[in-house]
Amino acid sequence: MPNPKTFDIPPPDTKRSLEKQGIPEARSPREIEALFHHRSPEGLNRMGREVCETVHGDSVYLRGLIEFTNYCTSNCLYCGIRRENQKVHRYRMDEAQILDTVAQGVKLGFKTFVLQGGEDPKWTVDRICRLVESIKSATQGRAAVTLSCGMKSRRAYQRFSDAGADRYLLRFETSDPELHQRLRDGQTLDHRLAALEGIKAAGFQVGSGFMTGLPGETPQTRLDNILLCQSLGLDMVGIGPFIPHPDTPLAREASRGLALALQGTALLRLALPLAHIPATTAAGSIAENGREQMLLCGANVLMPNITPSLFKKSYLLYPGKICIEENCAQSLAHLEATLPKIGRRLSYERADAIKPPPWGHSRHLPKGGRYG
């Protein structure tokens, strides 16, 4: 089991100053473990929601997701765009198409763009750096750029960061080392965690996360997943239910539904009160109102898919993905209309990571929440 450090748990003095300002304090690993074993799902979800509302108020932050390539040299057993899936129609957007998508997103009010793709050798480090620079210059440096394009060298992460990228997402997928190696076709958890260290060292706001309900995971894996996120001191955590894809080796595995992802969301909110936690598309794809349910137990971010529809339908990591038919403006209008029904509202803030130290400086906290 990973050895949780107390990275994000402030020393006693700081704790007192946090408490004075009403900033919720992270639960200790031991408290998380007790909650995991003994709290009812309803109780846990309510706790997650309350902490989320204390930190972020009713704001739900927006990120525009651009799936810029579905070529991938990796072969993760769970993933629909794995190298060996011959049925995938492969595409890669070019610079002009991506910049055009960003421009449309800016018009709709997006201030953060997430460039997500497979591990595509044609999108070289140089090319990605130039793309980041172009997005920054096209948006007068105002838009935040998040990269999510897999495992790269430490030097590559540094170059991305120097080119102006702000955030990097790399899920560790599961904290069980054997399961990780089996499901990621021989790649090790240690290697993944070393990559996350490189990402942090490059100065990025760091995002990671995992899938829930993977075949072979145990309750201990689920608890360890949360504790690993806490020990990594993540700024952003993305989780979602595993959904078996028919053209992968895991096609015949069962789906475990949404409940485990909801439990994970609530525990993560208690373990990392300040983190940005998206209500993910995978949640919305296996359950009616799945994203709303995630928002109601601790998630505070939505990532509408703004990839041009021509490409979107070929980026199928799992089947049944929602919003493939919607265009970007329709997705936003839909969210604007539905969020108030659960007491939340879309926020067009850029919403950078909330860095705790120096603790208690409310100017580091986003607008919209209790500290806005």
Enumerate binding residues for ligand 5AD (CB under 6 A).
Answer: 78-79, 171, 173, 211, 240, 242-243, 245, 282, 317-318
Of 193 and 243, which has the nearer Cβ to ligand 5AD? 243
In 39-84, alpha helices (H)? 41-56
Residue 242 binds: one of ligand SF4, ligand 5AD, none (C-beta under 5 to 8 A by kind): ligand 5AD
CA distances from 272 to 52, 169, 212, 237 (A): 10, 16, 18, 9
| 247 belongs to the binding site for ligand SF4 (CB under 6 A) | no
Residue 245 binds: one of ligand 5AD, ligand SF4, none (C-beta under 5 to 8 A by kind): ligand 5AD
Of 103 and 194, which has the nearer Cβ to ligand SF4? 194
Beta strands at 144-148 and 112-117: parallel, antiparallel or unpaired? parallel
Where in 225-282 does DSSP place strands (E)?
Answer: 236-241
Least distance in Å: CB of 243 to ligand 5AD?
4
The burial class, CB within 10 Å (0-12 / 13-18 / 19+), for 328 is buried
Residue 97 binds: one of ligand 5AD, ligand SF4, none (C-beta under 5 to 8 A by kind): none
Of 92 and 370, which has the nearer Cβ to ligand SF4? 92
Contact with ligand SF4 (CB under 6 A) among 17, 28, 74, 314: 74
CA distances from 305 to 312, 323, 348 (A): 8, 7, 16
Give the 3-state DSSP-derived string for 305-332, with helices as H, strands as E and coil as C: ECCCHHHHCCCCCCCCCCCCCCCHHHHH
Least distance in Å: CB of 79 to ligand 5AD?
4
What residues have CB less than 8 Å from 370, skipping those under 6 apart? 22, 53, 54, 55, 56, 57
Least distance in Å: CB of 124 to ligand 5AD?
21
The residue with its CB nearest to ligand 5AD is 318
